[in-house]
A and B are shown apart, each in its own frame.
Chain A
């Protein structure tokens, strides 16, 4: 009884001592006010026509006409309200930026942006979303690779290299075997091979993991470009014309408007992505494997004490991460482009890394962050298509800027697993 009262007062005292952290409400507030001014007050006259139809729907949704400025003001007000809620949470000493709030903030912001860009034109929403999914697929795979690797305690900057290795190998193998599934398998192996170097150097030789990652990216870029120029490009019809995955619509489900074409009319690799996210999430938080992975990544000494082989666990899971990233690489050649090109991943691995951090090392949130970033990339296409006079460079910056805000603690606590990046020595 007496101990209970003591701990209670102790807890209260310690709570009073910690100062309130106003970073998150301030960041939200700035974003909200800027959106209110740009989309609302300075908003563009006219209406934005959002269409939802696609050819296979079994009923059609009528397009919506949205007055741009009015919608902008509404979005601005909602965002300011969310910022106010965040400020109230801070006052209450609750987490100022829970994930749902970030998500709501993101969705409203994106809606405001969309209507603002689409003023006086038609915004084909389904086209926009399917494009987003396609752009986000390698990002999601990359982010999952990062989640597995970092949760087990090895920083994975080499996602870019793993994606590129997967893209190259899958193109080569799928061309030679004329079978996309063999290509996918080869991509898995290639991603894991890149991971072996990462694992050996960071676990056995205790080299700084970030250095290994960056060097691996350079190495893979160099190697694939070299082999592309000296082998693939000498005989592209045989070596660099892979058979792509075809779309496999799921009967009935694919005919639902919006959701159908988005979720149920995809290539095998995209379905695989959905499965991967689910498996990683359930595996990480609801299985023995996940518990071990997280234990090794958070407190390797404790894990070692209860008999988990820390370095072996790290080694095999880093390999697993590489294989997952390799699948993402295969999407470039077997899902999207249909041939390998020099440096075709063009920094996507780093966006995947950003999604991982923005998603707070959680598979579900990381996947959603990847989708959000994919949308930010895709919206550039929309801007050029509707011919709006908006510098797309600022849209391209969004993923990177929000990630900087995230690591600087402006959007709530974004903390890496405690032992991530630290080699374990008995």
Chain B
């Protein structure tokens, strides 16, 4: 992430740093307050607040009450409160727990979250290498093509069929994304432009292919609609009678794979090295071009898994070119909110999954258009992307940028002057101490 959001903080002045410098625990407290987690939570709160404000402003009851605000101001407040309370209640009952369905809505949240998590992981792989893969839509569509072909045109026993279909999606997504990698490695073409353009190419290619006999459903006429998936390849549901299928298990498995890939494998090390500093990586003997191709292929593979989840889990009766459902773009927000960490992405995916699951009951019960979710999502990401903004709004302190382990090992310098002096040496020292300390120090950056 460091290359993508160059959070170049303004230089810390001695005045700012002074009060906390004499106590090591104050520094730790400041890190917690100014750190990534608190900031993410506050960004979500702020976005929900602005979203609620929007909902209140456009509400007709509120507008009516605002008309006679000066004669009875309490009416406006109660109308506003009713609107917000109604919206959140509908959201809660649609996403977590409802008196009628018990925890069934929670399962539907998990089901919405699964492709978001998978695709979010894909985006995160790219971010780690400093690559921005906006091509999720195209990669999901091409993945859907592969999944659909395996799922409806091949005959295989239950289990194997499912596995091959999912694998097909992963391969399809990876292939389509690696076009971008090859172009970037060989010609220097910017991945953002190429992925945007390939989204549209994939859309038209898939639309055309879905009208050809190989893919088109028998009764679709002139419409682009795919054949139904064979029952041997459809995702089995985990709990009968609910939306939850094995897609969620796959998403969790993908998160595990992502963690291993990034934290334990040589490939992941190369990806991170190229992301942190391509020139240094090249000097260290890493083949940058090949790393770009591998990164994008891995990114496309995760996104392809999301495509498989959509085709085999959500619309097995026959998918259309809208099968991606905007997940390719939502995944950007998931990866950014999740700070590119496997656990973070799972939680971010769950949050956005809950917003999606809750938005439909909210639209039906309270008449609030589901588009509010996109607004909230966009706002969250804007706030996440600009740490100084959130810090300024909530008057949070600037984090000290010291790692926890580093803090425990060495007591904080005693005088403010010493603290400021050691600002530069502090960083080089923690780098010398090895990657583990440095990592915890830089988690704030993400």
Query: What is the 8 Å Cβ interface bit string for chain A, positions 391-426, against chain B (1 contact, 0 not)?
Result: 101101100110110011100000010000001010
In the complex, the answer to whether B382 meets A396 with C-beta atoms within 8 Å is no
Please report the C-alpha to C-alpha distance between residue A400 and residue B200 in the assembled complex, in whole angstroms. Answer: 7
Question: Any chain A CB within 8 A of the CB of B340?
Answer: no
Q: Say yes or no: is B196 at the interface (Cβ < 8 Å to chain A).
A: yes
Task: Give the chain B neighbours of A78 by CB distance below 8 A.
Answer: none
B160 within 8 A of A: no
* Centre residue among A208, A212, A216, A223 by max chain B CB count within 10 A: A208
Contact B382 A219 (CB under 8 A): yes
Q: Does A227 contact B (CB under 8 A)?
A: yes
Q: Are B189 and A219 in contact (CB under 8 A)?
A: no
Q: How far is the CA of A205 from the CA of B385 in the complex (A)?
A: 9
User: Which residue of the partner chain A has the closest CB to B387?
Assistant: A205
Question: Which residues 205-243 of A have a CB within 8 angstroms of B?
Answer: 205-208, 210-212, 214-216, 218-219, 221-223, 225-227, 229-231, 234
Which residue of the partner chain B has the closest CB to A226?
Answer: B371
Q: Does A197 touch B at the CB level, under 8 Å?
A: yes
Closest residue of chain A to B3 (Cβ to Cβ) is: A208
The answer to whether residues A404 and B197 also contact, given A205-B388, A206-B6 and a CB cut-off of 8 A, is: yes
Q: Which residues of chain A are within 8 angstroms of B208 by Cβ–Cβ distance?
A: 391, 393-394
- A214 near B332 (CB under 8 angstroms)? yes
Contact B201 A231 (CB under 8 A): no
Q: Does chain A have a CB within 8 A of B373?
A: yes
User: Judging by beta carbons under 8 Å apart, are B197 and A403 in contact?
Assistant: yes
Interface residues on B, range: 35 or more
Q: How many angstroms between the C-alpha atoms of A331 and B378 in the bound complex?
A: 26
Q: Does A152 contact B (CB under 8 A)?
A: no
**Across the interface, do B204 and A207 meet the contact criterion of CB distance under 8 Å?**
no
The 8 Å CB contact of A215, one of B367, B382, B388, is: B382
Say which residue of B58, B193, B381, B385 sits within 8 Å of A230 (CB atoms). Answer: B58
Q: Tell me the complex Cα distance, A241–B132, Å.
A: 40
**Cβ-defined contact, A407 with B194, below 8 A:** yes
Instruction: Give CA–CA (A401, B199) in the complex, Å.
Output: 11
Asked if B333 and A403 make an inter-chain contact with CB atoms under 8 angstroms apart, the answer reads: no
Judge whether A39 is part of the interface by a CB distance below 8 angstroms: no
CB of B286 within 8 Å of the partner chain = no
Indicate if the CB atoms of B7 and A396 lie closer than 8 Å: no
Q: With CB as the reference atom, state the residue of chain B lying closest to A234.
A: B60
Assuming the A-B contacts A207-B385, A215-B385, A219-B382, are A226 and B375 also in contact, with contact meaning beta carbons closer than 8 angstroms in the complex? yes
Complex Cα gap A205–B193 (Å): 23
Asked whether A215 and B381 contact (CB < 8 A) given A393-B205, A394-B204, A425-B8, the answer is: yes
Contact B385 A212, beta carbon cutoff 8 Å: yes
Select which of A205, A225, A227, A357 is within 8 A of B389 by beta carbon: A205
Interface of B is mostly: helix
Q: In the bound complex, what is the Cα–Cα distance between A347 and B186 (angstroms)?
A: 28
A353 touches B (CB below 8 Å): yes
Chain B residues with CB below 8 A from A393, complex form: 204-205, 207-208
User: B369 at the A/B interface (Cβ < 8 Å)?
Assistant: yes
Given contacts A231-B58, A404-B194, contact A396 B6 (CB under 8 A): no
Smallest beta-carbon distance B310→chain A, Å: 19
Specify which of A197, A403, A409, A425 is in contact with B187 (CB 8 Å cutoff).
A409
Is B200's CB under 8 angstroms from A347's CB?
yes
CA distance A153 to B382 in the complex (A): 20
- Check B5–A207 contact: CB distance below 8 A: yes
Return B32 CB to nearest CB of chain A, in Å. 22
Give the shortest distance, in Å, between B55 (CB) and chain A (any CB): 8
Q: Would you give the shortest CB distance from A311 to chain B, in whole angstroms?
A: 13
| A403 & B371 in contact (Cβ 8 Å cutoff) | no
For A225, give its contact among B190, B204, B374, B379 (CB under 8 Å). Answer: B374
B377 at interface, CB cutoff 8 A:
yes
Q: How far is the CA of A206 from the CA of B445 in the complex (A)?
A: 13
In the complex, chain A residues whose CB is within 8 Å of the CB of B189: 404, 407-409
- Most chain B CB atoms below 10 A, which of A218, A357, A394: A218
Residues in A with CB closer than 8 Å to B193 are: 353, 357, 403-404, 407
- Which residues does chain A contribute within 8 Å of B7, judged by CB atoms? 206
Q: B6 near A208 (CB under 8 angstroms)?
A: yes
Q: Which residues of B contact A (CB under 8 A)?
A: 4-8, 54, 58, 60, 132, 134, 183, 186-190, 192-194, 196-198, 200-201, 204-205, 207-208, 211, 329, 332-333, 336, 367-369, 371-375, 377-379, 381-382, 385-386, 388-389
Considering the complex of A and B, which 8 residue pairs feature the smallest CB-CB distances, nearest first? A222-B374, A219-B378, A229-B369, A205-B386, A225-B371, A393-B208, A226-B371, A222-B375
New A-B contacts (12) at CB < 8 Å, excluding given A234-B60, A350-B200, A404-B198: A201-B386, A212-B385, A222-B373, A222-B378, A223-B374, A226-B374, A229-B369, A394-B208, A397-B205, A400-B201, A401-B201, A407-B193
9 contacts across the A-B interface (CB closer than 8 A): A210-B192, A211-B332, A215-B382, A225-B371, A226-B371, A357-B193, A391-B211, A407-B193, A407-B194
